Structure 1
Amino acid sequence: MVQLFNGGPDRGGGDDRPQHGRYESCLEEAGFRIETINPNQSPWNLGPRHHNAFRGLDPLRALRVLLLRRDAAIICAHAESALIVLLLRRLFRLRARVVVWELQWSASWRFRVIVNRLAIRRADCSVVFGSNQIELARERFDPGAPLVCIPFCIDLDFFRAQACPDETPSEIFSCGFDDGRDFPLLLEACHGLGLPVLIKTGGKLPLDPVGHATVRQNFERLSYPDFRRLYARARIVVVTTHATENASGVTALMEAMAMGRPTIVTDNPALRDYFAPPDALRIVPVGDAAALRAAILDLWRHPEEAEAMGRRARAFAERHFHPRLHFQRVADLYKSLLPPPSAGVARPRGALENPG
């Protein structure tokens, strides 16, 4: 199989950073040979000077696949990376099944809307990270589009419960950088409480010098271990988002639960595939500052119950967020797209008859 993504080369992982993408080992164990073809750089590809979406178009890479990878079993790609391949697949008699991976939602960006519509209509399957996106994609792009939800995963070895020997969990922590986050809701809920709050985000937040005297915003560029330490020293983690089409906040939610921290999340429909039972995760309505304030106070005033909730969250993460579970689902999807060996059709190169 061939992987085409919009970004540049994966620099790999190590003990000092999470390794979510145990892609090749898991899929190879399932019987797939993996080849990742990264986008060309300038001057052969004008995209690197702009957004990753333009980088992914890369006509030269697409032609390389159409000419030299015609017998691949699966081509997995972001919509932009798949577009030219999909538009020309019949002309080049491409045998590969094409899977569009992780739809990017940008309703206000017409370029991406057009790319998604063209790609989804032609793909053999498209993968989303939230089941709410299946109906949205069919309404917006193609009523008959084959879509499947495969929830994402987290590196449970990197994000695990940790003790801070020099300090005890002592603050409310929230983080995130995408437009779907609702930090004003958290600020409203914490106004005047006098509880220590740390928010890690980009743009400067409107902090009231009086009502938010104990709220701090972190602008530092942190290493992965230092970022993980912010979770470890958090007494409560809060993930507040608007009701979004994409799974805004999903990474922070999984990281907090994997770290075993007592966590509060707003009831964003895009995140519901990742919600633990009520005894392991506190869920409040989107936009409801009073409910969020009550949940924060309840967990703050009952630390032993909160820590027990965090331990149950970690157990839930181990059962549901493991990379091996995620990539087994990916492998099962790929296999379902291939013709069975008994169908009298030659299986494309890149899939083994006897995995393992």
Structure 2
Amino acid sequence: MRYHIALHRSIDIDGITEDAKAHKCPQHLMWMLRQRLKATVHEPKLNSSSPLDKIRSKISGQPEYWELARSLSSELGEDDVIFCLSEAVGIEIATVCGAKKNRPKIAVFFHNIIRPRGRLALKLFGLADKIDLFLACSGSQVKFLRSYLNLPESRVSFVWASIDTHFFTPGPTSSDKLRPVIVSVGLEKRDYQTLAKATADLDVDVKISGFSQDASLLAQTFPKQMPNNMSRQFYEWPDLVQLYRDADVVVISLIQSQCGAGLQALMEAMACRRPVIVTRTDGLIDYLLHPGSVTTINPGDADELRQAITHLLNHPQEAEKQAQIGYELALKRYNNEQFVEVIATKLESLNLNNYPPPMPSARYANGVPPYQGGTTGGWN
């Protein structure tokens, strides 16, 4: 059996690997998975697309995703397994390659499919019959896929997300630190307006790592006037690690969402052994249930966020205990090695199953098994 990995954009995996060896950046998961499965990596190309590709892209993806799907369709057959890292390109590959008579086995990792275009693509392109294995790191995505497509548990798996716990590690704070530092990282679904309200008059420095040239995104995410104690800039990877280490508290302030927005920052902060305050969202709920690992708040509640920050700052022993619990959880559950092994094992198991995919089990109401939270299809 031949294994393949499809990316939704061009990535210099080998270059990243060399930088990772020099501790300049985290190791890339797909390099690890490629080595584990001896897989071939495929990327979209921007230099060609047909009129049909452009028409299809009005419904889903980009023209180059459809071009890649057509190219792979001519190469892959029943002796191939292809893993798509995202629904961006995964939908297109499943649509085209899944229509072949002697088609490859197809697995797609879904990040945020609960959107109008995502719902349309799933049904319009008949993906329930073309994708053998649906994967997601958010329980809300798993539940949606099972119920919306009427799929059995065996075909939709929850997998814990992961980071490079050899890169994100605890360490000493900067020598020039003058007062408590509140750190927040990322832009997707972030709510820095609430963070600004909660901290504007506190004797702290609020440092945000979030860079984008999308003016509308920044306007939605940040207050019109940044408080004097709040700053935002781009941090290179080593500087980002030091930013986490300097944090007295890491705050992940989010708007309500069904995807795993904020997840990367949550795991990175835990791996750096820092106490975390995070907004309780549907997309993150599986990651917030471990006792004592994080402090959670309701979306948009600046008073609650302020109280949570001041409590941790005024109770350093409690903050340290929470940081230690989160750190141990990150090492045990969120490490890249475990993620790669879980994904590889699931892809290898596709060889044991024949297409067409099994029909939903009659013993479940509507053929959909009950969702069991984070342990379903993943690891404890």
Conserved? CA contact 1:70–1:95, under 8 Å: yes
- Name the % identity: 21
The 1-side partners of 2:334 and 2:90 are apart by 27
Q: What's the offset of the Cα at 1:200?
A: 3.0
Q: Secondary structure at the match of 1:8?
A: coil
Q: Secondary structure at the match of 1:270?
A: coil
Q: Secondary structure at the match of 1:189?
A: helix
Q: What's the offset of the Cα at 1:339?
A: 1.9
2:77 partner letter: R
Instruction: State how 1:159-178 maps to structure 2 within 5 Å.
Output: 159-168=168-177, 170-178=180-188
Conserved? CA contact 1:170–1:234, under 8 Å: yes
The 2-side partners of 1:340 and 1:128 are apart by 20
Aligned to 1:232: 245
Q: What residue ranges of structure 2 are gaps of 5+ in the alignment?
A: 212-217, 355-380
Conserved? CA contact 2:76–2:103, under 8 Å: no
Aligned to 2:160: 151
Structure-2 change in CA distance of 1:134 and 1:91 (3 Å): closer
Conserved? CA contact 1:134–1:149, under 8 Å: yes
1:156 partner letter: T
Q: Secondary structure at the match of 1:98?
A: strand
Aligned to 1:299: 312
Q: Secondary structure at the match of 2:166?
A: coil
Counterpart check, 1:73 vs 2:75: no
Conserved? CA contact 1:40–1:58, under 8 Å: no
The 2-side partners of 1:274 and 1:55 are apart by 35
The 2-side partners of 1:91 and 1:289 are apart by 51
Conserved? CA contact 1:56–1:80, under 8 Å: no
Aligned to 1:217: 231
2:236 partner letter: S
Conserved? CA contact 2:270–2:330, under 8 Å: yes
Structure-2 change in CA distance of 1:329 and 1:174 (3 Å): same
The 2-side partners of 1:270 and 1:152 are apart by 12
Structure-2 change in CA distance of 1:229 and 1:119 (3 Å): farther
Conserved? CA contact 2:32–2:340, under 8 Å: no
2:76 partner letter: R
Structure-2 change in CA distance of 1:275 and 1:90 (3 Å): closer
The 1-side partners of 2:289 and 2:239 are apart by 26
The 2-side partners of 1:268 and 1:8 are apart by 31
CA offsets 1:99-151 (integer angstroms, 9 cap, x no match)? 1122434625x3x4433443642211211111111222345x42337321112
The 2-side partners of 1:80 and 1:311 are apart by 36
Q: What's the offset of the Cα at 1:290?
A: 2.4
Conserved? CA contact 2:69–2:96, under 8 Å: no
Aligned to 1:4: 6
Select 2:321's aligned residue among 297, 308, 312: 308
The 2-side partners of 1:335 and 1:73 are apart by 11
Conserved? CA contact 1:82–1:119, under 8 Å: no
Q: What's the offset of the Cα at 1:274?
A: 2.2
Larger deviation, residues 180-189 vs 148-157: 180-189
TM-score by length of 1: 0.81
How many residue pairs get aligned? The number is 328
CA offsets 1:138-175 (integer angstroms, 9 cap, x no match)? 45x42337321112101101100011352457311112
Which one scores higher on RCO, CA 8 angstroms, separation ≥ 6? 1
Counterpart check, 1:201 vs 2:210: yes
The 1-side partners of 2:126 and 2:192 are apart by 34
Q: Secondary structure at the match of 1:153?
A: coil
Aligned to 1:353: none
Q: What's the offset of the Cα at 1:27?
A: 6.2
Task: Write out the 4+ residue segments of structure 1 that deviate beyond 6 Å after TM superposition.
Answer: 45-48
TM-score by length of 2: 0.76
Conserved? CA contact 2:184–2:251, under 8 Å: yes
Conserved? CA contact 2:273–2:326, under 8 Å: yes
The 1-side partners of 2:310 and 2:76 are apart by 58
CA offsets 1:161-206 (integer angstroms, 9 cap, x no match)? 011352457311112111x112222122224333322233342632
CA offsets 1:209-247 (integer angstroms, 9 cap, x no match)? 7xx34x2221x3331111222111111100111221110
Aligned to 1:18: 26
The 2-side partners of 1:119 and 1:303 are apart by 54
Q: What's the offset of the Cα at 1:85?
A: 4.2
Structure-2 change in CA distance of 1:119 and 1:151 (3 Å): farther
Q: What's the offset of the Cα at 1:314?
A: 1.1
Q: Which has the higher helix share?
A: 2
The 1-side partners of 2:280 and 2:327 are apart by 20
Aligned to 2:346: 333
The 2-side partners of 1:56 and 1:44 are apart by 6
Select 1:130's aligned residue among 138, 157, 181: 138
RMSD: 3.0
Q: Secondary structure at the match of 1:294?
A: helix
Conserved? CA contact 1:24–1:34, under 8 Å: no
2:190 partner letter: R
2:249 partner letter: I
